[in-house]
């Protein structure tokens, strides 16, 4: 059996960071409804319940805004290792907390680490993967997130009957162990990003990293041809002459194109505000919007509060709601596997729009059943339609938005802003995730259908924006993606769309007057 290429092994190792996020997501909902945890925190209102769950998210949003700078300064590998180590410390505080305040502090620390490493995972894989495998490999973290959901839900299912605080402490202790192991493995086995090394003028180290990753020479050249030749630091004197073969391979240029493509000094990626420069801001705004709407679809409302949703639909025992939640996680994991394999066969734009319409319709149907009082705890088909609807929604999300949007947000960015812009987009994801986690239990307590209608409207709005502003990127090199954005008449902003409509209406009026 042939050993897989190094870039595949590195991508799989990197994707294990998604497993940590998935386990935490799978744990926190069931853990907070366990009887032992309720005894630990006392009677809490829905808003306090939401705060306990969501306290991880705002710190993650804040730290993700700086994760790109950390990854640019210290390297992708180091940024991932530092973030996952902080995450492990937070999980340790949760598992060993002696008061609810200490538990929340643990959530906050965990969030800081999560924000630092999670967005950088996709950036790293995007920078080492050959173009023909980029889609499949960059969906690896999402696949491992779904595996983590399965592990988290069933860990809580297995510990729920422990008649002590270990029923909820043990899942967090296991999570801390996973995180410490991942941080150490990242530093020991994950090669540095050759693109990052090139940007810092370390051509010799970049060549060694390419060899360790096992990227074929032809694919290596394609990847580096997509790399903008701007550098963070001038090359060191021992790197070699601009026209030497080694230098050409390291930078992806030759003597004939180097001077033509070298950007001015003002364009060097040493400022965080570069993400708002004229050639990058439209892509930054689109990535921020899409990553925010990914959460406003309601996916983490479903994942965090699956036991509550199933309980509301009529599954009354803790064991049955945990089991239903675990089954939903298995379904999510199962459908994410083919979605990952076929990621480069499906159009990003079309799958995002069709998946969004399906999710919006599913949420609308479930909300309408509750609004029409058709869901009863013990009788009728309404409750089973809701249970199946939750599964259908999760499946549609995983095969469309869960896979496509995170890839899209990273691959549309210029190289010099990719780390910063991708992590800012993840920050948007964290902020909206916080809002969803905070308001979902409140909405479920006040009205049985409000959350479903809210998520349906938000998802449909996102589909409209995608139809107007989202160019296709499937199968395109990063240079071709750059050209698609530069040539798009709509993506520059709503004002360009409005200008086009004014011109069109003006021509129609002239035709009528004539």
The span from the CA of 459 to the CA of 446, in Å, is 22
Same domain, 245 and 303: no
The domain boundary residue, chosen from 267, 285, 304: 267
> How many Cβ atoms from other residues are within 10 Å of residue 135's Cβ?
26
Half-sphere exposure of 2 (CA within 13 A, CB side): 4
Same domain, 242 and 380: no
Q: How far apart, in Å, are the Cα atoms of 377 and each of 306, 312, 333, 381?
A: 16, 8, 28, 10
- Return all residues near 39 (Cβ < 8 A) that are at least 6 apart: none
pLDDT at 506: 56
Q: Tell whether 507 is covered by a domain.
A: yes
- Our CA dihedral for 222, 224, 225, 228, rounded to 10 degrees, sits at 150
Q: Mean per-residue pLDDT for 448-469?
A: 90
User: Burial level of 128, CB count in 10 A (0-12/13-18/19+)?
Assistant: buried
Instruction: Assign residue 136 the CATH number of its domain.
Output: 1.20.1250.20
Same domain, 185 and 222: no
Q: Tell whether 409 is covered by a domain.
A: yes
Same domain, 302 and 404: yes
- Return all residues near 143 (Cβ < 8 A) that are at least 6 apart: 15, 18, 333, 336, 337, 340
Q: Tell whether 487 is covered by a domain.
A: yes
* Total-model pTM: 0.71
Residue in the structure block whose two tokens are 């509750």? 370
The span from the CA of 138 to the CA of 76, in Å, is 15
Model confidence at 181, pLDDT cuts 50, 70, 90, reads: very high
The span from the CA of 345 to the CA of 135, in Å, is 9
The span from the CA of 79 to the CA of 102, in Å, is 26
| Tally of domains within the chain | 3
Q: Tell whether 147 is covered by a domain.
A: yes
Same domain, 113 and 39: yes
Averaged pLDDT of the chain: 78
Same domain, 198 and 185: no
Same domain, 285 and 322: yes
Q: How far apart, in Å, are the Cα atoms of 11 and each of 127, 140, 144, 460?
A: 10, 7, 11, 33
Q: Tell whether 1 is covered by a domain.
A: no
Same domain, 198 and 186: no
Same domain, 338 and 206: no
H or E segment to which residue 80 belongs: helix 76-95
Same domain, 110 and 236: no
Same domain, 178 and 204: no
- Above 90 in pLDDT, residue 83? yes
Q: What is the DSSP string of 373-431?
A: T---SSSSSHHHHHHHHHHHHHHHHHHTHHHHHHHHHHHTS-GGGHHHHHHHHHHHHHH
Same domain, 67 and 130: yes
Model confidence at 301, pLDDT cuts 50, 70, 90, reads: confident
pLDDT at 513: 54
Model confidence at 91, pLDDT cuts 50, 70, 90, reads: very high
pLDDT at 104: 93
Q: Mean per-residue pLDDT for 451-470?
A: 91
pLDDT tens track for 326-359: 788 888 888 888 877 776 677 778 888 999 999 9
pLDDT at 113: 94
The domain boundary residue, chosen from 267, 292, 307: 267
The span from the CA of 342 to the CA of 398, in Å, is 12
- Above 90 in pLDDT, residue 486? no
The span from the CA of 287 to the CA of 284, in Å, is 5
The span from the CA of 33 to the CA of 311, in Å, is 11
pLDDT at 360: 95
Q: Tell whether 279 is covered by a domain.
A: yes
Residue in the structure block whose two tokens are 């991880």? 56
Range of the domain at 202: 194-267
Q: What is the DSSP string of 203-268?
A: HHHHHHHHHHHT--HHHHHHHHHTS-S--SSPPPGGG--TTSHHHHHHHT--HHHHHHHPPPGGGS
pLDDT tens track for 238-283: 333 333 333 333 333 333 333 333 444 334 444 567 777 777 788 8
Q: How far apart, in Å, are the Cα atoms of 138 and each of 92, 172, 196, 275, 433?
A: 29, 27, 17, 22, 21
Whether residue 466 contacts residue 356, with contact meaning beta carbons closer than 8 Å, is answered with: yes
The domain boundary residue, chosen from 267, 284, 318: 267
pLDDT at 365: 93
Q: Mean per-residue pLDDT for 207-229?
A: 70
């Amino acid at each position: 059996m042939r050993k897989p290429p190094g870039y595949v092994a590195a991508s799989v190792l990197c994707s294990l960071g998604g497993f940590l996020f998935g386990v935490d997501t799978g744990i926190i909902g069931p853990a907070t409804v366990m009887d032992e945890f309720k005894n630990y925190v006392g009677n809490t209102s829905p808003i306090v319940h939401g705060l306990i769950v969501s306290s991880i998210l705002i710190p993650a949003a804040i730290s993700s805004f700086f994760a790109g700078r950390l990854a640019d300064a210290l390297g992708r590998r180091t940024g991932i290792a530092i973030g996952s180590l902080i995450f492990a410390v937070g999980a340790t505080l949760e598992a060993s907390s002696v008061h609810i305040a200490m538990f929340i502090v643990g959530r906050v620390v965990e969030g800081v680490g999560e924000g630092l490493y999670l967005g950088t995972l996709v950036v790293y894989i995007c920078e080492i993967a050959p173009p023909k495998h980029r889609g499949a490999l960059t969906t690896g973290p999402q696949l491992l997130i779904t595996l983590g959901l399965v592990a988290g839900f069933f860990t809580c299912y297995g510990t729920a009957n422990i008649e002590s605080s270990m029923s909820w402490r043990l899942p967090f202790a296991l999570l801390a162990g996973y995180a410490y192991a991942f941080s150490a493995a990242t530093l020991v086995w994950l090669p540095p990003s050759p693109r990052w090394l090139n940007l810092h003028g370390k051509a010799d180290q970049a060549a060694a990293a390419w060899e360790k990753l096992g990227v074929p020479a032809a694919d290596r050249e394609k990847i580096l041809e997509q790399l903008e030749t701007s550098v963070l630091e001038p090359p060191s004197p021992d790197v070699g002459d601009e026209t030497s073969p080694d230098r050409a391979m390291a930078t992806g240029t030759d003597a004939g194109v180097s001077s033509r493509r070298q950007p001015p000094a003002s364009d060097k990626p040493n400022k965080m505000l570069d993400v708002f420069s004229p050639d990058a801001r439209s892509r930054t705004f689109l990535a921020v919007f899409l990553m925010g709407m990914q959460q406003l679809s309601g996916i983490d409302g479903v994942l965090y509060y699956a036991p509550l949703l199933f309980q509301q639909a009529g599954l009354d025992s803790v064991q049955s709601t945990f089991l239903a939640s675990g089954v939903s996680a298995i379904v999510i994991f199962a459908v994410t596997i083919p979605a990952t394999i076929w990621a480069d066969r499906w159009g990003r734009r079309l799958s995002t729009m069709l998946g969004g319409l399906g999710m919006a319709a599913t949420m609308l149907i479930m909300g309408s059943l509750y609004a029409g009082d058709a869901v009863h705890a013990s009788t009728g088909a309404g409750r089973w339609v809701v249970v199946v609807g939750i599964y259908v929604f999760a499946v549609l999300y995983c095969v469309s938005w869960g896979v496509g949007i995170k890839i899209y947000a990273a691959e549309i960015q210029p190289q010099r802003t990719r780390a910063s812009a991708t992590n800012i987009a993840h920050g948007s994801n964290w902020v909206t995730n916080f809002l969803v986690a905070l308001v979902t239990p409140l909405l479920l307590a006040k009205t049985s259908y409000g959350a479903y209608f809210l998520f349906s409207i938000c998802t449909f709005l996102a589909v409209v924006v995608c139809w107007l502003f989202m160019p296709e990127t499937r199968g395109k090199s990063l240079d071709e993606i750059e050209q698609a954005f530069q040539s798009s008449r709509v993506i520059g902003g709503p004002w360009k769309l409005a200008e086009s409509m004014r011109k069109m209406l003006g021509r129609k009026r002239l035709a009528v007057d004539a």
